[in-house]
Structure 1
Amino acid sequence: MRKAARIAMVLFLGGGLWLAFKPGAVGNPRLSFLPYYVNEFVDHMDFWFNLLAFTALAFTAWLAFGPQHGTFEKAINRALWVLGIITVMNIMVEVVQSSIPGRRVDQADVWAGMLGCVLGIFGGCLVQRMMNRRAQDGPPARVLFVDQTGRLGGAELMLLDIAAARAADSEVVLFQDGEFRTALEERGVKTRVLPLGEEAAVVDKQAGMLHALRAMPALCGLILRLAHAARGFDVVYANTAKALIIGGPAAWLARRALVFHLHDIVSAGHFSAMNRRALIFCSNYFASAVIANSEATQEAFIASGGRAELCSVVPNGFHITDEVPATAETTRVRESFGIPAGAWTVLMAGRLTPWKGQKVLLEALKAVPQAHVVLLGDALFTAEDHAYAAALRAQAAEPSLAGRVHFAGFRTDTRTFFELADVVVHASIHPEPFGRVIVEGMLAGRAVIATKAGGAAEIIDHEQTGLHVAPDDANDLAQALLRLQKDPALALELAQNACRTARATYGLDAVQAKIEAVISKSAFPDIKATPAPAAAAA
């Protein structure tokens, strides 16, 4: 449609300029191929013909360049641009006409052009609205999900559920292969890997300008390949910051709406200055909508320059189930790590990386006698992560901790580990965007201790559904652990309150419905979104 409208606009514009600049003196009619009396009629009805011509020109210009997606404010802004450009061109033509024999400046033509522009833009909006309504009456929007990694992190676990719910009409593109692709395909999700290339793959959230320049050729090639793939879908859904940087331009080239799911706090602690600017620019310029996973994430996005009207908060969703692992399985896992039966056990789950705070937990454990800690997770991405994991193992070998710290590595049977724990700890030293582990602990019916910062502070209600501690404060964490160790009744009360709250707030069906509403609104911006049925979820 947009291509046809642009061709029509060029034809209208060319014909209009030819008529405007062709001399029209008596005896030399502009429409020389028509009878003289027809030319007289055209001259007599000049205002109305100009009105009709500019209506057609503005109508095709709007269909060619008007926003297919976006806010009402964006549509008004584009309409003013179309009106302004055509009006300025009209005035310039009238001025030039004064030097042509038989022509003069006619203010009525200017007013006819302005009124025609308004009518044409209004008509274009109506046509777009009708087209969107017809599209919505058909199948749900087709979505091309984009993620940078093949590893299973918190953002990827969320995407796994979203993509599985619409596996019939959508696809996932990954920039790296790994267990995430396997998990998607096991859930029936069509997946393809577009390799990022070595130079681009090493550009992380803290990368500077030099690394970005080296990666530019690979990034440009990937953008073009992704744009080609996006033409078969209605919406591009970028699930990570790197997916946004590549998926934003690709969606723009493919003329598709872009939804960005923001799982990170946009701050100096998480992103380099260059990457923050790139993320905000791509969000503001390319995205139809930004989904933030917490209020803290949204506030940081807006504070960094992100457009508030794009952003809405949708927390991560979780499968709600009453099934629990068999006692025999929990006992087997406990025995495999050498944890004594009945030992008070603390679980911390997450990637082994400095900002997650495993080091703080091990320091606090020194003050908690007879307690054992299970660290569920592994070093995933950077050399810094692997060096940190080695430092943790050295710390765990200290005499005061020896035999009480157990490294479980990356596991898929995570629920079993929550069952064997008495307390779940979240100890991130920087504000975390959400805190998936916190909700998993709450749903498992375990008391939770979490740092009071970022999205984690929103999940826990201190003294009601868990305990808050100061970030990077081993003494504060030790006191909270001792309190729960010495007061099992308090731990049980917090765990029961937390489980009820998590079930009411973070159910997957409700969360998916909110995300589907954002996707539908981005694909069909002029009509009320209709979420896809939850029954499609695997």
Structure 2
Amino acid sequence: MMKRIARISLLLLLVAGLWLALKPTLGNRRLTFLPQHWSEYLDYMDFWLNLFAFAILGLTVWFALGSLQKVLQRLFLMIASITLLNLLLEGLQSSIPGRAMDQADVWAGLLGCVLGICSGLAMQLFTVRKKVGASPQVLFLDQTGRLGGAELMLLDIAAARAADSEVALFQDGEFRTALEKAQVKTHVFKLAEEASSVDKQAGLRCVLRTVPAIVDLTLQIARAARAFDVVYANTAKSLIIGGPAARLAGRPLIFHLHDIIADGHFSSLNQKALIFCANYCARKVIANSEATKDAFIACGGRAELCVVVPNGFHIPEERTPSPKTAALRASLGIPSAAWTILMAGRLSHWKGQHVLLEALKTVPNAHAVLLGDALFTEEDRIYAQRLHSQADEPGLAGRIHFAGFQSDTMPYFDMADVVVHASVFPEPFGRVIVEGMLAGKPVIASRAGGAAEIIQHEHTGLLVDPGSAADLASALLRLQRDSGFASTIALQAQHTAQDTYAISAVQEKIESAIRQTAGSKKSQLLSPAIPLPKPPPCAA
């Protein structure tokens, strides 16, 4: 309805504007129906009247034709079209009696239309009314439709407050299905392909190509955010978009940090962008481990923003029955007497599946199950192909089993004799480590990042040097040969995990952070006294 009214108004404005622009003057009087002194006064105010008139025109044009889709393209076309029309009319005036081309009128038209169009865009952003509720209303943001570790954590958080919160995704996929199954209201704001394909190692040229798509999505999120009390960015890419959107909407932002911001994980440009957005836009940063917090601060992040909250897990009342695990082993082609190693996680070089395969060459009667797939990048897909080739090498052929992505992972953990985590770079948290502990299995993990915080060496698991196939093989042989020791550390790990990582305790900490952020004063959020971040020293 508004667009229809705006289009009718636009037509009337164009007719009136053309009449005024092309009307001959009479005795230097443009508006002959006005008294002489009024007409002369209006001529003195010509620049400002033109600016105001074109501002009204620009405002009307935006409401008639504007949209938060392809914003930069629309802005350029609208401004260019109005300016071209203005130039054309000014040129025609030179042939009209009593009229002449005036360069000041061209500038007035250009400035006026820019002012009007930008005002219309701002009005569109601020037309959404905030929802009223007793509990803080939260708009959760996540970049992907896939189910990764960060998404599984968000699924639990959002499901606990499904009555008063929503999730905005930048891609569709099984994550949306899982959220809707948990009765969480979900909306997909489709991010253009060129922007969604940008990874953590992207450089400046690649990032610049995505600017129009990012601007479009930022404005859409800003408009949606005005209906909520808090914006909650669950991933790095959602922070880059959600941070400026929250500032535009005047809403406080929480950034849930699931990544180690350091070389090997992010390019230098992306490190700087993340730290800037977190420091300038976030009211609180939730780190999933001390390792992620330390890396954030080392790169220039503000320490006072940070609080550490580990990932939470549902403690199942019952595990997978033996007949089902036996059937699963048979379906994967694993001999019933084989000692079985499980490694879960997306197939990616930094996850270290190749390290496990190399170590397995010296571990007799052992089979490995790789649970996961190449989810995100072309680099991951190439790596997955290399793993399949490595699995066919002499000494490994027939002992490596690719299970692919599975939504129900518990039977795979219950089937295994040991769980391995072999990341070659520091892991932000290590969700699969806790899943192995909860399953009552001995766990071997890389001695770096969040993994080293979860495992107490030789008490709740074994820690090995990252990337060392020899060290991993030695730990595997120790557990294979000493079943008593393996059972002891597995039991101790299970009790520790149940006490430390129960979802209820973690959700309570997250809810506390949300309420604190929602209760912060708006003046503090918008205060210009917030110091801008210095260039991250680790990215130099």
Q: TM range, normalised to the smaller chain?
A: 0.7 to 0.9
* Amino acid of the structure 2 residue aligned with 1:144: L
Match of 1:273 in 2: 268
How far 1:138 moved relative to its partner?
Answer: 5.8
CA distance in 2, matches of 1:440, 1:503: 10
Match of 1:186 in 2: 181
The whole-number CA distance in structure 2 between the counterparts of 1:382 and 1:204 is 7
Question: How far is the alpha carbon of 1:525 from its aligned partner?
Answer: 2.4
Could you tell me which runs of 5 or more consecutive residues in structure 2 were left unpaired when the two chains were aligned: 1-129, 523-540
Matched, 1:516 2:511: yes
Q: Counterparts of 1:254 and 1:266 in 2: how far apart (Å)?
A: 27
Query: Please, which of 239, 242, 247 is the counterpart of residue 244 of structure 1?
Result: 239
- Please state how far the C-alpha of 1:298 moved relative to its aligned partner: 0.1
Report the equivalent of 2:520: 525
The equivalent residue for 1:418 is 413
- Give the CA deviation at 1:342: 2.4
Task: Encode CA deviations 1:4-63: one digit per residue, 9 max, x unaligned.
Answer: xxxxxxxxxxxxxxxxxxxxxxxxxxxxxxxxxxxxxxxxxxxxxxxxxxxxxxxxxxxx
User: TM-score, length-normalised on structure 2?
Assistant: 0.72
- Cα RMSD (Å) of the superposition? 1.5
Name the CA distance, whole Å, in 2 between partners of 1:342 and 1:325.
Answer: 19
Partner of 1:373: 368
Where do 1:88-487 residues align within 5 Å? 139-487=134-482
Structure 1 position 322, deviation (Å): 2.5
* Whole-angstrom distance in 1 between the partners of 2:198 and 2:133: 41
Q: CA deviation at 1:400?
A: 0.3
Amino acid across the alignment from 1:279 = L
Output the amino acid matched with 1:496: L
Task: Tell me if structure 1 keeps the 8 A contact 2:340–2:368.
Answer: yes
Question: Is residue 340–residue 367 contact of structure 2 (8 Å, CA) maintained in 1?
Answer: yes
Mapped contact 2:133–2:164 kept (Cα < 8 A): no
**Amino acid in structure 2 at the alignment position of 1:507:** A
Kindly state the Cα deviation for residue 484 of structure 1 after the two structures are TM-superposed.
0.2
- What SS does the corresponding residue of 2:443 show, helix, strand or coil? strand
Q: Give the Cα separation in 1 of the matches to 2:521 and 2:179.
A: 32
Q: Give the AA of the match of 2:386.
A: A
Residue 499 of structure 1, aligned match among 480, 489, 494 = 494
Aligned-partner Cα distance in 1 for 2:486–2:313: 23
Counterpart residue identity of residue 469, structure 1: V
SS in 2 for 1:298: helix
Choose 196-205 or 456-465, whichever is displaced more. 196-205
The question of whether the paired residues in 1 share the 8 Å contact of 2:332 and 2:401 is answered with yes
Q: Report the residue type matching 1:445 in the other structure.
A: G
Distance in 1 (alpha carbons) for counterparts of 2:377 and 2:306: 30
Gaps of 5+ in 1: 1-134, 528-538
For residues 159-191 of structure 1, give each alpha carbon's deviation from its aligned partner in whole angstroms, at most 9, with x where no partner exists.
000000000110000000000000000000010
Secondary structure of the structure 2 residue equivalent to 1:316:
coil
Give, in angstroms, the shift of residue 321 of structure 1. Answer: 1.8
Identity %: 67
CA distance in 2 between counterparts of 1:274 and 1:468 reads 33
Q: 2:408 & 2:512 partners in 1: Cα distance?
A: 32
Question: What's the CA shift for 1:201?
Answer: 1.1
Count of paired positions: 393
Query: What secondary structure does 1:144 align onto?
Result: strand
State whether residues 138 and 230 of structure 2, in contact with CA within 8 Å, keep that contact through their aligned partners in structure 1: yes
1:73 alignment partner in structure 2: none
Q: CA deviation at 1:517?
A: 0.5
1:433 Cα offset (Å): 0.3
Letter in 2 for 1:411: Q
Matches of 1:489 and 1:308, distance apart in 2: 44
* CA distance in 2: counterparts of 1:351 and 1:320, whole angstroms: 23
**CA distance in 1 between partners of 2:461 and 2:194 (Å):** 44
Partner SS, residue 288 of structure 1: strand
CA drift at 1:526: 6.5
Q: After TM superposition, what 4+ stretches of structure 1 lie above 4 angstroms from structure 2?
A: none
Secondary structure at 2:365's aligned position in 1? coil
Per-residue deviation, residues 281-302 of structure 1 (Å, max 9, x unmatched): 0000000000000000000000
Partner Cα separation in structure 1 for residue 194 and residue 400 of structure 2: 37
Equivalent residue letter for 1:436: R
Give distance in 2, aligned partners of 1:407 and 1:265: 28
- The two structures have a TM-score, normalised by structure 1, of 0.72
**Separation in structure 1 between the aligned mates of residue 499 and residue 479 of structure 2, nearest angstrom:** 25
For the Cα contact (< 8 Å) 2:139–2:165, is it kept in 1?
yes
What amino acid sits opposite 1:480 in the alignment? A
Q: Distance in 2 between matches of 1:231 and 1:211?
A: 31
